[in-house]
A and B are shown apart, each in its own frame.
Chain A
Amino acid sequence: MSSGQRARFRRKQAILRRVVVTVVMIFFLVPLYAMFDYTTRDLASGGRSMRTWKTLLDFGKVSEQYPDLRTGFIASVLLAVLTVAIMLVLLVPTMTWVRLRLPGLSRIVEFICLLPLTVPAIVLVVGLTPIYAWVTYLLGGATVWLCFAYVILVLPYAYRALDAGLRAIDVRTLSEAARSLGASWLTVMWRIVLPNLRTAVLSASFLAVALTLGEFTIANLFSRTNLQVAMYLLGKSDAQISVAVGLLALVFAFVVLFAMSFVGSGRAGTSAFARLRHHRKETA
């Protein structure tokens, strides 16, 4: 191809890109703008007002006027922390251990971790009903105990992120070196493996936080109030404030993902979900 032809081809490609991206962006961003538009309406006078946003940014006022929202928000934050904690305690040692000592089990661990992708949340709710009857009996009916189910929901994503991290370091050499210098397994885990997995742990945690904050199905069907359920319930009485909360949640999740795309290697960070496909190819 001559350079003139190539330049023409590049121009054509750029035009196509601009047209497609613009059209789809409009489709994506108009509803988000509509949310903002709706929250800034003054429903009484028909003009504009920032009242909804002022209320929302005043935490004292929100908790006073919308107790459900406060409960839901606190529950969701607690849920996010607990889910991340359980997920890390469960997965990091197990995955390291399997890699070091029980490589024969790696297939089955992978299979189990990816299983939730094929079990819809709504189906999981049906199956979890008797389990949660026991959880409620043993621990009480607080919303935070949903963290046990949420760990299952984030399992595939967390597994992928941590697996990519473990692949990138030589766990065996590192741990053998530490062990031969007299470190206990706990020290190996805490001072050798974990610091080396920093980026992977970080992205697994971010994903878990984002998924937890956006979870609705399980909480709603078990009649527990997390952020999304509070938003949903509030939508029936005070739509403006709940739309504002919804927009805020979307923006927050976007900021988290956008920041994550700069963390670690550019490629792996482009999209944490894309890793679901990348990895399979490496093993094939």
Chain B
Amino acid sequence: MTDAPRGRVLREIRPSGALLGVVPFFAYVTVFLLIPTLVVLVGAFVSDGRVTMGNIDALWEPAVVTALWQSVVLSAVTAVVGAVVGGLLAYAVSTAAPGGVLRRFLTSLCGVLAQFGGVALAFAFLATFGAGALLTTLFADLGIGSGSGGTWIYEWNKGLMLVYLYFQIPLMLIVFLPAVEGLKPQWREATETLGGSTFTYWRRVAAPILMPSFIGALLLLFTNAFSAYATAAALVSQGSPLLPLQIGGTFTSEVVIGQANVGKAMALEMMVVVAVVMAAYAILDRRASRWLVR
């Protein structure tokens, strides 16, 4: 850095004491956001006050590896299914009148399901598919199942996947709707003027424009499912099939000494996965905005 800009910055700052105005904000986020992040980063490599790789080694224990693998599979599957169904829904909604009730209703409903569901979603799911619940009895009347529900709803690759879709599809609508709204009708008209069919329009115009937004939204959905805790915790009462539940387990179990630091290592593992995916998202988002500037 040359001296000239630095001098200018200092002159702007020093006489007024303007920096004092932002001290409360930075103090607050340091205590409640930056230090906690550092605690995880550092704590993952420390045990009993000594630097160690022991916590990281614990990540290779079968239970943790399985949890990570199942978390990744669950997140990936629900992200793909959620992105496809939610993307279709977003397109359908984008063809409706802009200020209409349908759009307001659906975006509000999706906002609720995507962000505030948590425990209530697990309850909703149990009330639908649990023992003696609405659909379980309905299906039993139709001759499917016995009416007593079953354990499938508690399994990570069956019930949890279904219940995760209850917040993945709505989230897709919310993040993808602005992108499909950015498709200009003129583009379709131009395609038609040049003799292209609807298929040509989607294949050669809309799909290439939407692709970065779509992949970006898909990655966002992945991290969303990957970091979700509440719904799974409320639904799964035995074992910890997912990484967030494993981390939560280190809070409640007092059996193993030093679990807390293993928890930090697992938290770090989670942060790394989320950070990598979010970085990819940021790059794609920048690319996506090239065409969809409004």
State in angstroms the CA–CA spacing of A11 and B82 once bound together.
27
A109-B25, A131-B32 known; A235-B123 Cβ under 8 A: yes
B73 to chain A, nearest CB (A): 18
Where chain B touches its partner, the secondary structure class is helix
Residues of A within 8 A of B19 (CB): 102
A21-B106, A31-B124, A94-B21 known; A124-B36 Cβ under 8 A: yes
- Between A and B, how many residue pairs show CB distances below 8 Å? 272
A1-B189, A24-B169, A211-B116 known; A126-B263 Cβ under 8 A: yes
State in angstroms the CA–CA spacing of A228 and B244 once bound together.
18
State in angstroms the CA–CA spacing of A25 and B89 once bound together.
10
Cβ of A210 under 8 Å from chain B: yes
- Is there an interface contact between B134 and A102, defined as CB atoms closer than 8 Å? no
A21-B106, A221-B248, A254-B108 known; A281-B289 Cβ under 8 A: yes
Q: Which A residues from 89 to 125 make CB contacts under 8 A with B?
A: 90-91, 93-94, 97-98, 101-102, 104-105, 109, 112, 115-125
Interface residue stretch chosen among A48-56, A172-180, A256-264: A256-264
- Is there an interface contact between B117 and A250, defined as CB atoms closer than 8 Å? yes
Q: Which A residues from 58 to 79 make CB contacts under 8 A with B?
A: none
Q: How many A residues have CB within 8 A of the partner chain?
A: 92
A250-B120, A261-B107, A281-B294 known; A90-B115 Cβ under 8 A: no
* Chain B CB within 10 Å, residue with most, of A30, A98, A115, A217: A217
Cβ of A277 under 8 Å from chain B: yes
- Is there an interface contact between B29 and A152, defined as CB atoms closer than 8 Å? yes
Cβ of B93 under 8 Å from chain A: yes
Cβ of A182 under 8 Å from chain B: no
Residues of A within 8 A of B244 (CB): 120, 122
Q: Which of B33, B98, B134, B275 contacts A112 (CB 8 A)?
A: B33
State in angstroms the CA–CA spacing of A72 and B12 once bound together.
49
Q: Which of B37, B38, B107, B116 contacts A271 (CB 8 A)?
A: B107
- Is there an interface contact between A13 and B95, defined as CB atoms closer than 8 Å? yes
- Is there an interface contact between A232 and B234, defined as CB atoms closer than 8 Å? yes
Residues of A within 8 A of B47 (CB): none
0/1 interface trace, chain A 246-284, chain B, CB 8 Å (1 if under) = 110110011001101110001000111110111011001
0/1 interface trace, chain B 157-193, chain A, CB 8 Å (1 if under) = 0000000001001100011011100000000010010
- Is there an interface contact between A246 and B120, defined as CB atoms closer than 8 Å? yes
- Is there an interface contact between B89 and A21, defined as CB atoms closer than 8 Å? yes
Cβ of A42 under 8 Å from chain B: no
B123 to chain A, nearest CB (A): 4
0/1 interface trace, chain A 14-40, chain B, CB 8 Å (1 if under) = 101100110011011011111101100
A17-B95, A20-B92, A281-B294 known; A28-B32 Cβ under 8 A: no
- Is there an interface contact between B248 and A242, defined as CB atoms closer than 8 Å? no
- Is there an interface contact between A228 and B230, defined as CB atoms closer than 8 Å? yes
- Is there an interface contact between A123 and B92, defined as CB atoms closer than 8 Å? no
A207 to chain B, nearest CB (A): 9
Cβ of B270 under 8 Å from chain A: yes
Q: Which of A27, A38, A102, A216 contacts B133 (CB 8 A)?
A: A38
- Is there an interface contact between B112 and A34, defined as CB atoms closer than 8 Å? no
B136 to chain A, nearest CB (A): 10
Residues of B within 8 A of A24 (CB): 85, 89, 169
Residues of B within 8 A of A242 (CB): 123
Q: Determine the residue in chain A with the shortest Cβ distance to B274.
A: A118
Cβ of A149 under 8 Å from chain B: yes
- Is there an interface contact between B175 and A250, defined as CB atoms closer than 8 Å? no
State in angstroms the CA–CA spacing of A97 and B109 once bound together.
36
Residues of B within 8 A of A274 (CB): 107, 174-175, 177-178
Cβ of B238 under 8 Å from chain A: no
* Chain A CB within 10 Å, residue with most, of B21, B99, B292: B21
- Is there an interface contact between A270 and B104, defined as CB atoms closer than 8 Å? yes
- Is there an interface contact between A216 and B22, defined as CB atoms closer than 8 Å? no
Q: Which of B89, B189, B260 contacts A129 (CB 8 A)?
A: B260
- Is there an interface contact between A28 and B25, defined as CB atoms closer than 8 Å? no
A126-B263, A243-B127 known; A257-B108 Cβ under 8 A: yes
Cβ of A168 under 8 Å from chain B: no
* Chain A CB within 10 Å, residue with most, of B115, B248, B292: B115
- Is there an interface contact between B32 and A128, defined as CB atoms closer than 8 Å? yes
Q: B interface vs A, CB < 8 Å?
A: 9, 13, 16, 18-19, 21-22, 24-25, 28-29, 31-40, 43, 85, 88-89, 91-93, 95-96, 98-99, 102-121, 123-128, 133-135, 166, 169-170, 174-175, 177-179, 189, 192, 223, 226-227, 229-230, 233-234, 244, 247-248, 251, 260, 263-264, 267, 270-271, 274-275, 278, 285-286, 289, 292-294
Interface CB pairs A-B, < 8 A, 11: A31-B124, A37-B134, A122-B267, A126-B40, A216-B229, A220-B233, A232-B234, A246-B123, A257-B112, A273-B111, A277-B178
The 6 closest A-B CB pairs, nearest first, are A127-B36, A120-B227, A246-B120, A214-B116, A31-B124, A20-B92
